[in-house]
Amino acid sequence: MRRNKVARFIGKNIELFTFSLPAVIYIFVMAYVPMFGAVIAFKNYEYDKGILGSDWVGFKNFEFLFESENAFRITRNTILYNISYMLMTTLFALLVAILLHEISKKWLKLYQTAMILPFFLSWVVVSYITMAFLDHQNGFLNGWLTALGFEKVQWYFDAHVWPYILNVVHLWKSIGFSALVYFAGILGIDAELYEAARIDGARRWQMIRNVTIPQLTPLIVILLILSVGNMFRGDFGLHYFIPNNNGMTYSTTDIIDTYIYRALSTIGDVSMASAVGLYQSFVGFVLVVAANFTVRRINEENSLF
Amino acid sequence: MAAGQDGSSAQARKRGAGVHPLIAAGAAKLGRVLLAVLGLAAAAVIGGCSSALFGSDLEEAAQPGTDNPVELIWYYPEYEANADLGLVNEEVNRIVKAKINATVRLKPIDFGSYEQKMNTLAASNAPADVIWTSNWLFSWTDNAKRGVFRPVQDLLPEFAPRLLASLPERFWDDGRLGGDQYGIPNYQIAAMRPSLVVQKRFADKYGLDAGSIRRIEDIEPFLKRVKEGESGIVPFGTTRGFYMNMLYGIDWRVPVYLDDPSHTVLPDVTPEMKRNFELVRSWYVKGYVNEDSATLREASDAYSKGNAAAWFDPTGKPGSEAEFKAMDGGYDVLLAPLTSPYYTGAASSMNAISRTSKNPERALMFLELVHTDKELYNLLVYGIEGKHYVRTTGSFIRIDPEAGYYTNTDWVFGDIRNEYLPEGSPADKLEQTVRINEEARLSFYNGFVFDGDSVKAELANVRAVNEEYYGSLATGSVDPEEYLPIYEEQLKKAGSDTIAAEKQRQLNEWLASKGLKRHPNAP
């Protein structure tokens, strides 16, 4: 009886199941199977004994993270940067999308292409572009500063300037793509709404405020919720390559991902590195559940689960 | 309950009415297929990393002789990828196949990523037979403890007797940990003689007498003249500064003052270090030091552009003039040693047999060939004669760095006593090396090995602090007045005192076990 029901449910949705099969297998293999490896964080992993055979050490591998201030610092950096990236990208992408919609269509292709180009560059390439600006001896910025009679700035040694630099670089790289998404959203708005507004004598600004933005709100909310899910996952390339992995800037550039990478590659201790990784996953999990809970309290329709 | 279930299934039937009957029939199967596929995928993944899960057993080769042909894999570091590696590899195999019925796959990895790549390879139990290791890159002690290497003391006498006899006992000692022989040292300079390297063209132009330099401070007037006289030239190139215990009368095995009868382990930040950082800072402020050390990654970046007039070399080994000339754009250099040579040990370049090796015997036989076969050794270092280098007079050769194979690392491969001398090396390079190795001053604490297992967390954190501050302080990029106290405080927070205390405890035990209480230099 019960088997039949399941069979029928699957039979009814067989196309959908078939479509989802590759993704399900991918997630299962890449996310669920390796999850058992998390036990390594509680062991003193020795290669010859293997994961199961190595000795249990309890929470010893977590000690180094929490004995120092690093745990707090990388957690704070990861979250604050992601919040700021999220807000900045949404705000500016929205602005650009509306501008694109309002200007004449003549140069539209050019603007779009110019803005989306950085999206396809790798962070390594971007890091050399930023180095051309920030290099102490030959960088453009210091060249301009000295030309204007100011002192040179040691960009790669000054931790205070990096929150701004990283935000600008991130925005530069990501705005093209996000603006495109919103622009597509605007194009999907029924033209009759604008016509009606125009007949009623609405000005441009009024049309933007009363037609475009309300119509885009569902899209904005969905994209925001989706990015909350990635809140605890930092952008490794951005934070590793752009500040050139320079020690003096760690206090404002180090995020969990770069810290794990350094912990594994320089200390070479798999167990310690996975302890940090597990910590990241755990806090990330808590964060997603909390975000979803909050969204559900405000508007149940928009919550993820 | 049953009625409710029936009711809902009836509803389901109704809703499912539109489904094609064939599809509905296949649906039950699909569920099973789904499960099967997931199961298979899981099995494949688990199977794929079973060696990581369960560990791999030492597989003893059935036939230790040379009857069956085997293939060996050798990982070692290199400066740059060589286009003709394949050709050289073929030549290597021709020699090795004839002698021990084996072929070798040479797998060089660039220095910059050697540690990272080898860590990953070792953690995944990748197949390998010989792995290059040292005390400064891909740490042999850490990795021996993690079970990356196979001890070889049981195999050495039988399968590599000539190799065993070719190295001094002192060298073998340096590759032993807890009674097990892991490292097979390469014969090269085993002493350090921190030196200044100066481009000859500037030394001549500004009248620098390299012999007159006793301390690093003595170079400053020269740097001043270069700064004033040359544009576009960096007087002193550096990436990590030049602080070394040996320059300041501190023992190089354990941080203890050379003449300290109490054997007190020093903290990480000493007055000497402060003096050094202040000196570099003053050079930096005066514009003698390159300002871009933050964006340089490799030590050779300090001089490889050819625009640095002087730089620091911690080793100062005989023959390094030729190596530097090859890397600084072809300019001749002078070496000005700042100390007499100290014996630092053979652990700076060793090979070890991987635990994943299926043929450790043959791997050792191969290493014996590398160490004792002059043709094989020079092939590995210089490439193919007539193509990559030509012999000139005596044992001198002229290398063509553009010919497709050029390593500039004779010390990675075996026994440099077998090597041809590149033009520009002193004719007595090998004799000098042997003499220095024999005469170099031995540390009072030679043989003491610090075991950091009980302070693992502290070591990791101290390392993190060093990564954050050390480079910037040591290159003068930041003001020690402001940052040295911060650095010191962060080190303390990270547990540097705990490490020093543990080191002191182990040192005291070691001293007691040796029956040593007082320093011979003590008053």
Predicted local distance difference test score (pLDDT) of residue B232: 87
| pLDDT: which is higher, B15 or B111 | B111
Of the residues B456, B458, B492, B497, the best mutation for testing chain A's interface (the one with the most A CB atoms within 10 Å of its CB) is B456
pLDDT of residue B329: 86
User: Could you write out the three-class secondary structure of B212-270?
Assistant: HCCCHHHHHHHHHHHHHHCCCCEEEECCCCCCCHHHHCECCCCCCECCCCCCCCCCCCC
Closest CA relative to residue B296, chosen from A244, A205, A67, A193: A244
For chain B, domain boundaries: 70-189+346-388+405-418
CA distance B453 to chain A (A): 11
For residue B48, pLDDT beyond 80: no
ipTM surpassing 0.90: no
Residues of B within 8 A of A31 (CB-CB) are none
Which of A33, A49, A157 is opposite residue B46, by nearest beta carbon?
A: A33
3-state helix, strand, coil in chain B (%, to 5): 50, 15, 35
pLDDT tens by residue, B440-497: 988 888 878 888 888 888 888 888 888 889 989 999 989 999 999 999 999 998 899 9
What residue has token string 């760095």?
B401
A266 and B115: CB-CB below 8 Å?
yes
Closest chain A residue to B59 measured between Cα atoms? A48
Cα dihedral across residues B217, B219, B225, B228: positive or negative: negative
Contact B273, B282 (CB under 8 A): no
Tell me how far apart the terminal alpha carbons of chain A are, to the nearest angstrom.
29
Nearest CB to A10: which of B9, B27, B477?
A: B27
Question: Residue B459: its chain A contacts at CB < 8 A?
Answer: 267
In this model, does residue B91 exceed pLDDT 90? yes
Q: CA B317, CA B320: separation in Å to the nearest integer?
A: 6
Please state whether the predicted TM-score (pTM) of the whole model is above 0.90.
Answer: no
How far from chain centre, in Å, is Cα B505? Answer: 28
Q: Looking at beta carbons, which residues of chain B come within 8 Å of A247?
A: 467-472
The C-alpha atoms of residue A31 and residue B214 are separated, in whole angstroms, by 61
Cβ separation A64–B461 shorter than 8 A = yes
CATH number for the region B70-189+346-388+405-418 comes to 3.40.190.10
pLDDT computed for residue B124 by the predictor: 83
Q: pLDDT digit string (tens) for B156-169?
A: 999 999 999 999 98
Beta-carbon count within 10 A of B25 CB: 12
> Taking CB atoms and an 8 Å cutoff, what residues of chain A touch B133?
none
Q: Is the pLDDT of residue B22 over 70?
A: no
Interface A-B, measured as beta-carbon pairs within 8 A, has a size of: 183
Residue B519 has pLDDT above 70, yes or no: no
B391 residue type, one letter:
R
Q: CB-based contact (8 Å) between B41 and chain A?
A: yes
Closest-CA distance, B421 to chain A, in angstroms, reads: 35
Q: So what's the pLDDT on residue A66?
A: 81
pLDDT for B170: 86
Please compute the mean of the pLDDT values over residues B33-56 and round it to a whole number.
58
Residue A112 confidence (pLDDT): 86
Which pLDDT band holds residue B349 (cuts at 50, 70, 90)? very high
- For residue A127, the model assigns a pLDDT of 92
Listed residue (B43, B96, B60, B126) closest to B377, CA to CA? B96
Task: State pLDDT tens for residues B395-441.
Answer: 899 998 889 999 989 999 999 999 999 988 888 999 999 999 988 98
Q: Is B127 left (phi over 0), alpha (psi -120 to 50) or beta?
A: beta
What number of residues does chain A have?
305
Please give the Cα distance from B141 to B175 (Å, whole number).
9
Mean pLDDT of B105-130: 90
Q: What is the dihedral of CA B293, B297, B303, B306, to 10 degrees?
A: -100
Domains of chain A: 1-58 (no CATH), 71-302 (1.10.3720.10)
* Nearest chain B Cα distance for residue A63, angstroms: 6
Please tell me which residue of chain A has the smallest CA distance to B32: A7
Chunked mean pLDDT (size 10), chain A, 305 residues: 77 88 91 85 83 84 80 89 92 91 82 89 92 86 90 86 94 92 90 89 87 86 75 86 86 88 73 85 80 75 66
B116 touching A, CB under 8 A?
yes
- DSSP per-residue string spanning A127-187: HHHHHHHH-TTT-HHHHHHHHTTPPP--GGG-GGGHHHHHHHHHHHHHHHHHHHHHHHHHH
**Which residues, including other chains, have CB under 8 Å from residue A204's CB and lie 6 or more apart?**
A102
The least confident of A6-10, B239-243, B257-261 is A6-10
Q: Please report, rounded to a whole number, the percentage of residues in chain B having pLDDT higher than 70.
A: 86
